[in-house]
Chains A and B, each alone.
Chain A
Amino acid sequence: MSADAVLYDHPGPRAKLRNLILTIIFGIGLLALLWWIYTKFDQKGQWAGQLWKPFTSASTWTDYILPGLGYTVGAAAVAMVLSLIFGLVFAVGRLSEHWWLSVPSGVVVEFFRAVPLLLLMFFIFFGVPFLTQKPMSTFWAVVLALTLYNGSVLAEAFRAGVKSVARGQSEAAYAIGMRKSQVMQSVLIPQAARAMLPVIVSQLVVLVKDTALGYIISYNELIQLGINNLSANFGNVVQAAIVVAIIFIIVNASLTTVAGWLERRTRRSGRAPRATGLPVPAGAVQTGEAAAGTF
């Protein structure tokens, strides 16, 4: 179903009245809930001006929130690059025809996809120092755990992407004598990568959200600096949490919008016009662009 209006008729007078009544009842319920939250906060003095004032001064932002955001995005970016490498290596490994490559790759990928991220982080942060007799920095604990988990997810996504390339592509490549590695490198992976771009960006959203787990091992990311340290100075835990939540929503919503735009772009520019030697009618190429312009 493309339009949700298929589920119900265009509202006539009785339906309009019913919709109005439902709107009013639900609106009143929502307002009552918000009023209850407001009064409860008021009882605990959470609306006091001094709890909210720190957010109007620039030093709060430059000392706590912006560095925290920087550390969050930094960890996510480093983890993204490493996960891409990890994912590519293990996807190719799993697609290999040698069982001694594909089976271990498969085991590694399935294992790291099934283990909770927090368990991995705890093991790397608390457990590995016992093995190496050296302290582990919180940044690398967060980044390594994120790499292992997201790399496995991306490996599966790359495998799905390579399998989704039309079979004729690899058949033609084999027919002109290319070896398996050449087929992978020159034909399959470039086409799979273009289709995988929206998946990669939405995994970036997941990465940014998962860096918040670094708060649990005291990595200095946005929740640690923006809520813990900030509220230790100003005593406004709930207010800081609300501001940090809004920042997260804005960052992630923007990344999701970029992912959606990328997906629409790759869907639009799907096929290049075939060079058949016949003059291509001017309309054929233009319609693609014109349809694109309506988005």
Chain B
Amino acid sequence: MDVFSVSTNVDTYVTGFLWILKLTVAGAIGAVVIGVLLAAMRVSPVPVLRGFGTAWVNTFRNTPLTLIIFFCYFGLYAALGFSASDNIDLNNYWLGVIGLSVYTAAFVCEAVRAGINTVPAGQAEAARAIGMSFRQTLSIVILPQAGRAVVAPLGSILIALCKNSTIVGTIGLAESSSAMKALINANGDAVIPIFLAFAGTFAIVLIPTGYLFGWLANRLAVKR
């Protein structure tokens, strides 16, 4: 693979994957935090919160991520003037993280809600019977038990998040897909090795991760 003996090409490749890693980590934290909050809102006793949660999920689950990232750039940054940093790359990075978190949070919310539904009703009834408030019921009794059923769908959502973070390249961040496009256009004779390098890295990281989450879900599954 002569194309990867040129050090600038290797730099492009490594930078691309570092951006993907940063996007995935920040996006995952944001998505899980917002998603759990949204799930709590959707089962809460306040109707406005329930409506807000439902509206959020229905809007962001049915819109393509490409359009959401587009909105982050043209709507948040250009029209609303929201700027996270003066460095263009960092700014695009945070816009991408916001778009990814907001989109993935809708899926996390649905997964957490499905997990909440697997917890037997007797748990919540017992919690209420000893006088726990809604917040205490959710945080002390329900969510920890729901977590065991949430691991499997959460795993596939996080793997999808890692793959979706390549879309942030459309607003100018030099991540993996943009790096691969640049390398292919510059080295037309080494197309297959370049593709195998990029796709192979994703496959080597994500396929074992998928199996790991499957094993974890099996370990944590509750036999009912």
Task: Evaluate contact between B62 and A7: CB separation under 8 angstroms.
Answer: no
- Is B199 part of the binding interface, using a Cβ–Cβ cutoff of 8 Å? yes
- Is B70 part of the binding interface, using a Cβ–Cβ cutoff of 8 Å? yes
Task: Evaluate contact between B124 and A1: CB separation under 8 angstroms.
Answer: yes
Q: How many residues in A have their beta carbons less than 8 Å from beta carbons of B? A: 56
Provide the bound-state CA to CA distance between A205 and B214, in Å: 25
With a CB–CB cut-off of 8 A, which chain B residues contact A263?
A: none
Task: Evaluate contact between A37 and B191: CB separation under 8 angstroms.
Answer: no
Task: Evaluate contact between B163 and A116: CB separation under 8 angstroms.
Answer: yes
With a CB–CB cut-off of 8 A, which chain A residues contact B78?
A: 237-238
Task: Enumerate B165-224 residues with CB–CB distance to A below 8 Å.
Answer: 166-167, 169-170, 176-177, 180-181, 184-185, 188-189, 191-192, 194-195, 198-199, 202-203, 206-207, 210
Task: Evaluate contact between A1 and B119: CB separation under 8 angstroms.
Answer: yes
Provide the bound-state CA to CA distance between A38 and B41, in Å: 25
The 8 A CB mask of B49-77 against A (1 = contact, 0 = none) is: 10010000011011111110011001100
The 8 A CB mask of A126-139 against B (1 = contact, 0 = none) is: 11101100000000
Chain B CB within 10 A, most for which of A15, A26, A115: A115
With a CB–CB cut-off of 8 A, which chain A residues contact B66?
A: 212-213, 215-216, 223
- Is A249 part of the binding interface, using a Cβ–Cβ cutoff of 8 Å? yes
Task: Evaluate contact between A123 and B62: CB separation under 8 angstroms.
Answer: no
Task: Enumerate A1-52 residues with CB–CB distance to B below 8 Å.
Answer: 1-2, 4, 6-9, 11, 15, 19, 22-23, 26-27, 30, 37, 40-41, 44, 46
- Is B22 part of the binding interface, using a Cβ–Cβ cutoff of 8 Å? no
Cross-chain pair count, CB within 8 angstroms: 168
Provide the bound-state CA to CA distance between A113 and B185, in Å: 25
Q: Is the interface of A mostly helix, strand, loop or mixed?
A: helix
Closest residue of B by beta carbon distance from A21:
B46
Task: Evaluate contact between A212 and B64: CB separation under 8 angstroms.
Answer: yes
- Is B1 part of the binding interface, using a Cβ–Cβ cutoff of 8 Å? no
With a CB–CB cut-off of 8 A, which chain A residues contact B48?
A: 22-23, 26-27, 30
Q: Pick the contact of B117: A1, A209, A227 (CB < 8 A).
A: A1
Task: Evaluate contact between B45 and A123: CB separation under 8 angstroms.
Answer: no
Task: Evaluate contact between B184 and A122: CB separation under 8 angstroms.
Answer: yes
Provide the bound-state CA to CA distance between A128 and B71, in Å: 31
Task: Evaluate contact between B202 and A114: CB separation under 8 angstroms.
Answer: yes
Task: Evaluate contact between B47 and A7: CB separation under 8 angstroms.
Answer: no
Task: Evaluate contact between B62 and A117: CB separation under 8 angstroms.
Answer: no
Q: Pick the contact of A7: B64, B137, B166, B207 (CB < 8 A).
A: B137
Given contacts A4-B43, A26-B48, 8 further A-B contacts (CB under 8 A): A1-B124, A8-B134, A23-B47, A40-B79, A119-B198, A122-B180, A130-B184, A223-B70
User: Which residues from chain B sit less than 8 Å from chain A, CB to CB?
Assistant: 43-49, 52, 58-59, 61-67, 70-71, 74-75, 78-81, 116-117, 119-121, 124-125, 128, 134, 137-138, 142, 159, 163-164, 166-167, 169-170, 176-177, 180-181, 184-185, 188-189, 191-192, 194-195, 198-199, 202-203, 206-207, 210
Provide a sorted-by-A list of 11 A–B residue pairs whose CB atoms are within 8 angstroms.
A1-B121, A2-B117, A7-B142, A23-B46, A23-B48, A26-B46, A114-B210, A119-B195, A123-B180, A212-B64, A249-B59
